[in-house]
């Protein structure tokens, strides 16, 4: 694998409000399920420290579930509540800071993605705005307004704890068909009250979550919001069909208190709308004026779906196109996922021009994720 363009732009400092980073490389949040009973142990702290030691500017943790009985959808997913789990995360923060890195937890509720018979609290039903799965199947009763308010409070408490134990920012997971995104999407949100309606009206739950997070952390603490057009199992879905719709959608979230938009796509190089080369992160930056993070198969030659369909993990690939887009200011930060799973030294190798040493990502990496 060769790389013709200088990667220097990736290693320029970034400053967005109180978030000051040594470079533009972000570790993308990736579920690992390596936290028995929801508490991250020393192995989790070591895992994140290795990436910080090798030059990652900002680590966004795997999704961590908020304090709600139906929040988790997998065994071993870390909690972001409870004395033992928060003590584990405190150690993660200390390790990352000792290595010179910055870190943010991704706070998460899976909503209707939970399958009652598989996951930790078998008595908890999956919850969602209308009780509908991502295929429109009715699985539970719609959330009541009182239940919604309790979940909003749980997001706020998670953010308060993140700041208290020393994290540098917090990311709200509002993508991929999980709970917040289920409120956004007309397939899963059929409500006729104040939490339903058109796309902008369907942002109300997210706005309340962002507001609770902002109130918990104060005006200066960085709040990142991850969003996507696609849903799990529906990669062609678009919440916003045009730039104008996207502008209205993002404006509401921006005004609610988001500082940075993390635009999740499967392939960063794909244009979001016809007639422009801008990807989703590029549009987010252009339309809101706020910093954005791009993500999607960075450093690999195939997207994550290929891992499960064609069994193709991904070979190391050049990042010339990424560098060109970053240089012209399309986005501000670059999130790297699978390439950093298989190769903790990915950032250092890119920085030092050791691209011939970059490691591929294989299915076997999923079993270790060290």
Averaged pLDDT in 10-residue chunks for the chain of 370 residues: 74 95 97 90 97 98 97 92 98 98 98 80 87 94 98 98 98 98 98 98 98 97 98 92 98 98 96 97 98 91 47 58 96 94 93 89 53
Task: Note the pLDDT of residue 317.
Answer: 56
Q: SS in 3 state form for the chain?
A: CCCCCCCHHHHCCEEECCEEECCCEEECCCCCCCCHHHCCCHHHHHHHHHHHHCCCCEEEEEEEECCCCCCCCCCCCCECCCHHHHHHHHHHHHHHHHCCCEEEEEEECCHHHCCCCCCCCCCCCCCCCCCECCCCCECCCCCCHHHHHHHHHHHHHHHHHHHHCCCCCEEEECCECCHHHHHHCCCCCCCCCCCCCCCCHHHHHHHHHHHHHHHHHCCCCCEEEEEECCECCECCCCCCCCHHHHHHHHHHHHHHCCCEEEEECCCCCCCCCCCCCCCHHHHHHHHHCCCEEEECCCCECCCCHHHHHCCCCCCECCCHHHHHHHHCCCCCEEEECHHHHHCCCHHHHHHCCCHHHCCCCCCCHHHHCC
Task: Note the pLDDT of residue 364.
Answer: 58
Task: Note the pLDDT of residue 271.
Answer: 96
Task: Note the pLDDT of residue 63.
Answer: 97
Task: Note the pLDDT of residue 309.
Answer: 43
Task: Note the pLDDT of residue 100.
Answer: 97
The whole-model pTM stands at 0.93
| Residues with catalytic function | 178
Task: Note the pLDDT of residue 311.
Answer: 45
Task: Note the pLDDT of residue 34.
Answer: 87
Residues 26 and 137: their CA atoms lie apart, in Å, by: 36
In angstroms, what CA-CA distances link 59 with 34, 49, 95, 207, 235? 17, 9, 12, 25, 26
Other beta carbons within 10 Å of 13: 10
Residues forming beta bridges with residue 174, ordered by sequence position: none
């Amino acid at each position: 694998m060769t790389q013709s363009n200088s990667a220097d732009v990736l290693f320029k400092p970034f400053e967005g409000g109180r978030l000051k980073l040594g470079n533009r490389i972000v570790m993308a949040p990736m579920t690992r399920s390596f936290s028995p009973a929801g508490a991250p142990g020393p192995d989790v702290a070591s895992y994140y420290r290795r990436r910080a030691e090798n030059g990652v500017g900002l680590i966004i943790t795997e999704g961590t579930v908020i304090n709600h009985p139906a929040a988790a959808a997998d065994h071993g997913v870390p909690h972001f509540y409870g004395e033992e789990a928060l003590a584990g995360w405190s150690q993660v923060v200390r390790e990352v800071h000792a290595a010179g890195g910055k870190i943010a937890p991704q706070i998460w509720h899976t909503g209707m993605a939970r399958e009652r018979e598989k996951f930790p609290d078998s008595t908890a039903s999956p919850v969602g705005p209308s009780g509908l799965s991502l295929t429109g199947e009715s699985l539970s009763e719609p959330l009541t307004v009182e239940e919604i308010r309790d979940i909003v409070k749980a997001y706020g408490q998670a953010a308060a704890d993140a700041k208290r134990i020393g994290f540098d920012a917090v990311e709200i997971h509002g993508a991929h068909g999980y709970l917040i995104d289920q409120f956004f999407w007309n397939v899963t949100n059929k409500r006729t009250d104040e939490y339903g309606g058109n796309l902008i009206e369907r942002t109300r739950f997210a706005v309340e979550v962002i507001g609770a997070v902002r109130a918990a952390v104060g005006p200066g603490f960085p709040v990142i919001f991850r969003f996507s057009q696609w849903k799990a199992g529906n990669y062609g879905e678009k919440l916003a069909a045009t730039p104008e719709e996207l502008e209205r959608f993002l404006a509401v979230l921006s005004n609610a208190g988001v500082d940075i938009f993390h635009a999740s796509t499967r392939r960063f190089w794909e244009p979001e709308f016809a007639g422009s080369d801008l990807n989703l992160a590029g549009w987010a930056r252009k339309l809101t004026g706020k910093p954005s993070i791009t993500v999607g198969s960075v450093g690999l030659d195939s997207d994550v779906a290929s891992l499960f369909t064609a069994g193709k993990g991904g070979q190391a690939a050049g990042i010339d196109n990424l560098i060109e887009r970053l240089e012209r200011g399309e986005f501000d930060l670059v999130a790297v996922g699978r390439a950093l799973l298989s190769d903790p030294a990915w950032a250092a190798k890119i920085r030092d021009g050791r691209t011939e040493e970059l490691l591929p990502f294989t299915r076997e990496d999923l079993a270790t994720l060290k």
